[in-house]
């Protein structure tokens, strides 16, 4: 079956709490609001790409539980094809607890659950039925599934965009298969050992990652924009200025927008600018998938 983007990644239930300040150890803090929302980097990126006009196939795993059904229903409602999402009878659906403070920054703790049970042979079988120019993936499923997707994507000639998140899940072998890698500042430091606080350091880090394998590197600097190393040239991309109220999912919206725009139009720098705008729209709104931009928002 033909798609614009295939996404391999995590599918989680997010329990999101809006707080004034993070509680200190041993303290209790009252939240302004708590919501249970669909999340997971893979699900987020797939929905972002679909809402921006892409035909998207999702590859992943949920538990055979109520949360898993809720998440599948959510992705289907946004137009993501979930026929390649497996259900585990042994592991529950991945769940994360997210705290967002008054500066819009977030911290998370959770369990991967069924995401970690996804097997490489299941991924290979799914990708064998999918024809798509772009494979978008992260590091929030089992290492076996990640490597199977990377190898299969390379064999099929897909353009592989790797969001090397979460930072704790990074392993260097993944870079040898990826065409494009999109780390944020924390992930960049995890990969290179370079603490990135400005664009000069970001350029140095991008070059270091490039030497590990990827032909294209995007180092994301949040409100300071990004540094792009593409076809041996360096580009400094400014961010789109907005009033930030919720930074959760901004990186996932960036990745989904980048993948679908590049898949459909083939101009990488245009895709980066498109992704920057999409992420900016997301941080200006509170919410998960319902707050992701659609094509009409990008005009």
- 19 annotated binding-site participant: no
| Selection from 225, 258, 246 nearest residue 290 by Cα | 246
- 221 annotated binding-site participant: yes
* Distance (Å, whole) CA 62 – CA 13: 10
CB-hemisphere CA count at 13 Å for 145? 27
- 169 annotated binding-site participant: no
Please give, one letter per residue, the 3-state secondary structure of 238-295. CCCCCCCCCCCCHHHHHHHHHHHHHHHHCCHHHHHHHHHHHHHHHHCCCCCHHHCCCH
- 285 annotated binding-site participant: yes
- 153 annotated binding-site participant: no
* Distance (Å, whole) CA 207 – CA 198: 15
- 73 annotated binding-site participant: no
| Selection from 107, 211, 49 nearest residue 58 by Cα | 49
- 270 annotated binding-site participant: no
- 225 annotated binding-site participant: yes
Measure the CA angle with vertex 92, ends 89 and 94; round to 5°.
135
- 110 annotated binding-site participant: no
- 224 annotated binding-site participant: yes
Strand order in the sheet with 33-39: 33-39, 12-18, 94-100, 106-111
| Selection from 80, 42, 81, 38 nearest residue 60 by Cα | 42
- 8 annotated binding-site participant: no
- 42 annotated binding-site participant: yes
Measure the CA angle with vertex 255, ends 203 and 216; round to 5°.
35
* Distance (Å, whole) CA 128 – CA 132: 11
* Distance (Å, whole) CA 226 – CA 273: 10
- 163 annotated binding-site participant: no
Catalytic residue among 90, 179, 252, 270: 252
| Selection from 290, 291, 255 nearest residue 274 by Cα | 255
- 282 annotated binding-site participant: yes
Instruction: Report the run of H or E that residue 189 belongs to, with start and end.
Output: helix 185-192
- 13 annotated binding-site participant: yes
- 199 annotated binding-site participant: no
252 noted as active-site residue: yes
Would you say 247 and 286 are in contact if contact means Cβ atoms under 8 Å apart?
A: no
- 297 annotated binding-site participant: no
Residues tagged in the binding site annotation for ATP: 184, 220-225, 251-252, 276
Residues tagged in the binding site annotation for substrate: 12-14, 40-44, 140, 252
Residues tagged in the binding site annotation for K(+): 246, 248, 282, 285, 287
Residues tagged in the binding site annotation: 12-14, 40-44, 140, 184, 220-225, 246, 248, 251-252, 276, 282, 285, 287
Active site residues: 252
């Amino acid at each position: 079956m033909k798609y614009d983007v295939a996404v391999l990644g995590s599918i989680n239930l997010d329990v999101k709490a809006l707080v004034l300040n993070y509680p200190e150890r041993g303290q209790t803090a009252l939240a302004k609001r708590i919501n249970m929302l669909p999340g997971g980097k893979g699900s987020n990126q797939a929905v972002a790409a679909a809402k921006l006009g892409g035909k998207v196939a999702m590859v992943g795993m949920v538990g055979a539980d109520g949360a898993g059904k809720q998440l599948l229903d959510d992705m289907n409602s946004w137009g993501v094809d979930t026929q390649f999402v497996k259900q585990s009878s042994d592991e529950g659906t991945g769940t994360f607890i997210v705290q967002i403070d008054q500066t819009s920054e977030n911290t998370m703790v959770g369990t991967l659950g069924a995401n970690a049970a996804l097997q490489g042979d299941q991924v290979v079988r799914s990708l064998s039925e999918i024809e798509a120019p772009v494979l978008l993936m992260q590091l929030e499923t089992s290492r076996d599934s990640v490597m199977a997707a990377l190898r299969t994507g390379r064999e099929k000639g897909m353009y592989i965009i790797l969001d090397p998140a979460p930072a704790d899940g990074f392993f260097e072998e993944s870079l040898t298969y990826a065409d494009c890698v999109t780390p944020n500042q924390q992930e960049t430091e995890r990969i290179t050992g370079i603490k990135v606080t400005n664009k000069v350091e970001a350029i140095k880090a991008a070059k270091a990652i490039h030497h590990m394998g990827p032909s294209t590197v995007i180092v994301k600097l949040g409100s300071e924009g990004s540094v792009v190393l593409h076809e041996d040239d360096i580009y400094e991309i400014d961010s789109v200025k907005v009033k930030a109220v919720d930074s959760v999912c901004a990186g996932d919206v960036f990745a989904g927008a980048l993948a679908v725009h590049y898949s459909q139009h083939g101009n990488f720098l245009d895709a980066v600018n498109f992704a920057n705008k999409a992420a900016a729209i997301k941080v200006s709104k509170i919410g998960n998938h319902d707050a992701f931009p659609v094509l009409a928002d990008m005009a």
